[in-house]
Structure 1
Amino acid sequence: MRAVPEYAGLVAIVTGGGSGIGAAVAHELTARGARVAAFDLDPSGVPADVLGIKTDVTDDASVRAAIQQVAEAYGRIDVVVNNAGIGAQGTVEDNSDDQWHQVFDVNVMGAVRVTRAALPYLRHSPAAAIVNVASVAATTGIPQRALYSTTKGAVQSLTMAMAADHLREGIRVNCVNPGTAATPWVQRLLDAAPDPEAERVALDARQPHGRLVTAEEVALAVVYLAGPTSGSTAGTALAVDGGMATLRMRPPAPN
């Protein structure tokens, strides 16, 4: 007999699902039997087996319309992955008030808008789960990331508060904290560096396992947390960072 896919019959939403970690999550969920909707400002790259919906997570009307479209297309919503986010570089001196508001609007309020619009549907699901994508920057001091780190710390705190609020409604909430991942945003940072090759070597070395995290590795953590088999996992922040947040390795011996 063929085993029933883990996500068979479930409907999942992935924000920022058009590229990077979000695209990897959408692919993995689909491969495990879910029907998936990807919310993105540019959903043109979403594969045919994923419902791509042009969505601006900074616009409540856009979010609510996208949620309604998913509910009408599939009749239910079981999983929400709040992945949409933007980056920022600099110390606390370097970003303007407008930049602070913009990054918070996407990284934190985007998750708030999508979650609150989806909650009425999640409450009817027998396997409801929300996974927020935070960052190692939520828990570890990283130079030149004051604004970005603050928003990701807020995402982790939001995760714990949501987990406490909604667990007894049958909705599990967790987050993943990726390390520096091989995504289009990181590639743009590398391309803009004075010496991209040296910058890549430095980023690889910053993580104890000696390389960037892959989007697929993060996706596997997300689908574990969102899946029916992790029914006793709630209020957890799962690090996918090669040990960056917790390990203090000795420098490698010289050759």
Structure 2
Amino acid sequence: MASSDPKIVLVTGGNTGLGYEIIKALYALPEPYTLLIGTRTISKGEAAVNQLKSEIPTSESTVSVIQVNVSSDVSIEAAIASITSTYGRIDALINNAGAGFDGEIRDEKMSIREAFNASWDTNVSGTHVLTTLAVPLLLKSADPRLMFVTSGTSSMWETQPENWGTMVALARINGSPVAGWPKPKEMAPITGYRSTKAGLNMLMREWTRILKNDGVKVWAISPGFLATNLGGLSPAMLRKMGTLEPHVGGEFVRDVVQGKHDDRVGLIIRSQQTQAW
């Protein structure tokens, strides 16, 4: 890799939500990147590329679509084989693909076991498989970076009332319902989702340990409460709850790619602070 070569960045779930905003933030930079939009559906990835080029007509970077479904080993293996033959390395792997199925339990569309298994498979197991297969490509980079997109809801320390401070959101997601059973249905249940993201935090720590002597910089990134479609609530409804615009999260991850948070390697990082475990 020559120092002038564009850095190659793979963003899973890159066609929508935070993933798209990460791609967009990097695409808008004056320095060139080779951006790979990881997506389950090629047509959705291509639509994202068209949208990106309409929003940013000129760029020094290139953007391509890589089909990858993190719930399928066959899909992951094919994606890694394609990247290996075409590019030969990855400079930054951003494990952004994620899903929440708690609303499916609430609406009786999935059983608890089905929904929990689907959440863990997408958010943790699939991410681990992809990362494992991508490590040889990362080790070909002169400055390898590995990121896991976690959640502000994953902090166990912040589940304690004495640690909420004045943060209304913490009181809302960690407050206890009234006595009795069954409990009232929640508008935005997150039990399974936040459990998997807490697991993802430990996975980040494991990869920090495993790759420590290989020079790979590893983070879990907590991008903030963003107005995306994650969790089944519309962006409009989320904005009423005080969310940030998605581009804020994208720009934060861009900064990590650019080295602006290298002093916080191995931690769960928010843009302005380190997230408590």
TM-score band w.r.t. shorter chain: 0.7 to 0.9
Q: For 1:117-173, what per-residue CA distance to the aligned partner results, in whole angstroms no more than 9, with x for missing partners?
A: 110111121110011100011114425311001011111111122112212101111
Which position in structure 1 is the counterpart of 2:121?
A: 105
Once residues 234 and 12 of structure 2 are traced to their aligned partners in structure 1, the CA distance between those partners, rounded to angstroms, is: 24
Once residues 222 and 147 of structure 1 are traced to their aligned partners in structure 2, the CA distance between those partners, rounded to angstroms, is: 24
Which position in structure 1 is the counterpart of 2:47?
A: 45
Once residues 163 and 60 of structure 1 are traced to their aligned partners in structure 2, the CA distance between those partners, rounded to angstroms, is: 23
Deviation at 1:216, TM superposition (A): 1.5
Q: Is the 8 A contact 1:7 1:34 kept in 2?
A: no
Once residues 200 and 218 of structure 1 are traced to their aligned partners in structure 2, the CA distance between those partners, rounded to angstroms, is: 14
Q: Is the 8 A contact 2:102 2:115 kept in 1?
A: no
Answering whether residue 14 of structure 2 is matched by residue 17 of structure 1, we say yes
Deviation at 1:230, TM superposition (A): 4.4
Aligned AA (1:75): G
Alignment of 1:38-187 (within 5 A): 38-42=37-41, 43-47=45-49, 49-89=62-102, 96-139=112-155, 140-141=158-159, 142=173, 144-185=189-230
Answering whether residue 268 of structure 2 is matched by residue 220 of structure 1, we say no
Counterpart of 1:75 in 2: which secondary structure?
Answer: coil
Deviation at 1:7, TM superposition (A): 9.2
Q: For 1:61-109, what per-residue CA distance to the aligned partner results, in whole angstroms no more than 9, with x for missing partners?
A: 211211221222223211100000011336x998510111111100111
Q: TM-score, normalised by structure 1?
A: 0.78
Q: For 1:164-207, what per-residue CA distance to the aligned partner results, in whole angstroms no more than 9, with x for missing partners?
A: 22121011110111332111335x4148xxxx76x753x21xxx
Report the aligned-residue RMSD: 2.8
Deviation at 1:232, TM superposition (A): 4.2
Q: TM-score, normalised by structure 2?
A: 0.72
Unaligned runs of 5+ residues in structure 2 are 51-61, 160-172, 175-188
Deviation at 1:110, TM superposition (A): 2.1
Q: Is the 8 A contact 2:224 2:249 kept in 1?
A: no
Counterpart of 1:46 in 2: which secondary structure?
Answer: helix
Q: Is the 8 A contact 2:221 2:268 kept in 1?
A: yes
Which position in structure 2 is the counterpart of 1:3?
A: none
Unaligned runs of 5+ residues in structure 1 are 1-5, 205-211, 247-255
CA gap of 1:44–1:21, structure 2 versus 1, over 3 A, is same
Which position in structure 1 is the counterpart of 2:24?
A: 27
Once residues 31 and 72 of structure 1 are traced to their aligned partners in structure 2, the CA distance between those partners, rounded to angstroms, is: 27
Once residues 62 and 7 of structure 1 are traced to their aligned partners in structure 2, the CA distance between those partners, rounded to angstroms, is: 31
Counterpart of 2:211 in 1: which secondary structure?
Answer: helix
Once residues 163 and 7 of structure 1 are traced to their aligned partners in structure 2, the CA distance between those partners, rounded to angstroms, is: 28
Once residues 214 and 135 of structure 1 are traced to their aligned partners in structure 2, the CA distance between those partners, rounded to angstroms, is: 15
